[in-house]
Amino acid sequence: EQLLEIKDLHAGVEDKEILKGLSLSVGKGEVHVILGPNGSGKSTLMNIIMGHPKYTVTGGSMTFEGEDMTEMKTFERSRKGLFLSFQTPEEIPGIIVENMLRTAKQAITGEKVKLLPFRKELKATMQELKMDPEYAQRYLNVGFSGGEKKRTEILQLLMLNPKLALLDETDSGLDVDAVQIVSEGVAKFHNEDNSCLIITHNTRILEHLKVDKVHVLMNGQIVEEGGPELIEDINSRGFAHIREEQEG
Ligand code: ADP
Ligand code: MG
Ligand code: MG
C-alpha cells in the first residue's frame, strides 16, 4: 500500500505552471530521493505536498494513506503525519524551542501534552543528539550555528515523529559537520513505520540510509526512476544525458 500517491499533478503559482503532470508514489517504510537540476520544481513539489497556500493545484490527484488531500489545509496534513523540514530554518525571537515543540506536538496529536513527561522525553532525545539541554530554553534558531540549526531540525523530526518526513536540503550549502548531523539524524528517525522523501545534491546525506527509490525531476515532471545506482549515474554523468534521452 502506498503512503503518498501523486498522479498527473499539475500545479503552480499565479499563472505559472511549475509541475506539469508529475506522478510519484512513496510506500510505507521507504526512503525515496528526488534529484533534479535547479529550478526543476523540487521545492515547489514539497510545498505543494504540505499545502502551502501560495501554490495552486490545477489538476491530478494527491492522496495520503488513500485519502484525497488536495483540499486539506497545512495543519490537517501535519495532523495526518506529514512534516516538512525547511531548507533555511528561520530565526524566531520570542519562541522558545521547548514551547515550540510542545505546541506543535499538541497541535498534531490534538491532545494536551503534559509538561513533565514531555520535558523528560525532550531531554533524552537531546542527549541522543548530543545537544546541550540548555538549547531547549533558547529562542528558536536565534544565534544558532548552521550545525545547531540542523540539530534542532532533527530534534523536531524525532519529537514530532511524522509518518512521512519531507526533507529539502537542496541548496542549503551544509558544511561537513552539518551533513553528518543530518545524515545520522535521519537514520535515527527512520524505521519500518515511517517514510522519507529527500531532496539533496549532497549524497553524503544518504550515507546511513538504505535508499529504496530515486526519482529524477526535470521541468516539472518525473522523467526517470530507478534504484540507488541512479545517484551514482547522475553524480558522474549529470542530468544532460537524461535530457537528451527525453528529447531524443
Ligand atoms: P528547485 O527546488 O528544483 O530548484 P523550485 O521549485 O524552487 O525549483 O522552482 C521551480 C520553478 O518555479 C522556478 O522557475 C522558480 O522560479 C519557480 N517558482 C517557484 N516558486 C515560485 C513562486 N513562489 N513564485 C514564482 N515562481 C516560483
Ligand atoms: Mg497531464
Ligand atoms: Mg529547491
pLDDT in tens, 191-210: 999 999 999 878 888 889 99
The best mutation among 16, 18, 199 to test binding of ligand 1, ranked by most ligand atoms within 8 Å of the C-beta, falls on 18
Q: Which ligand is nearest to the CA of 169?
A: 3
Query: What sign does the CA torsion over 47, 102, 154, 208 have?
Result: negative
Tell me the ipTM for this assembly.
0.95
Residues 226 and 212: their CA atoms lie apart, in Å, by 9
pLDDT, greater one: 175 or 2? 2
How confident is residue 89, by pLDDT bands cut at 50, 70 and 90?
Answer: low
Percent of the chain exceeding pLDDT 90 equals 73
Ligand 1, atom 14, residue with closest C-alpha: 39
Residue 87's pLDDT is 56
Q: Ligand 1: residues within 6 Å at CB?
A: 13, 16, 18, 36, 38-44, 54, 170
Residues 198-225 have a mean pLDDT of 92
Please give the number of the atom of ligand 1 that sits closest to the Cα of 38: 4
How confident is residue 1, by pLDDT bands cut at 50, 70 and 90?
Answer: confident
Give, in words, the CATH class of 2-247.
alpha beta
Residue with cell 540539530: 151
Name the residue ranges covered by the structural domains of the chain.
2-247
Least confident of 8-12, 17-21, 241-245: 241-245
Ligand 1, atom 24, residue with closest C-alpha: 13
Crossing angle, helix 229-237 and helix 240-247, to 10 degrees? 100
pLDDT in tens, 137-160: 998 888 888 888 889 999 999 999
Residue 86's pLDDT is 64
pLDDT in tens, 24-74: 999 999 999 999 999 999 999 999 999 999 999 999 999 999 999 999 999
Q: Which ligand is nearest to the CA of 36?
A: 1
Residues 10 and 220: their CA atoms lie apart, in Å, by 9
Q: How close is the Cα of 114 to the center of ligand 3, in Å?
A: 37
Q: How close is the Cα of 233 to the center of ligand 2, in Å?
A: 28
Q: Which residues pair with 233 in a beta bridge?
A: none
pLDDT in tens, 114-124: 999 999 999 99
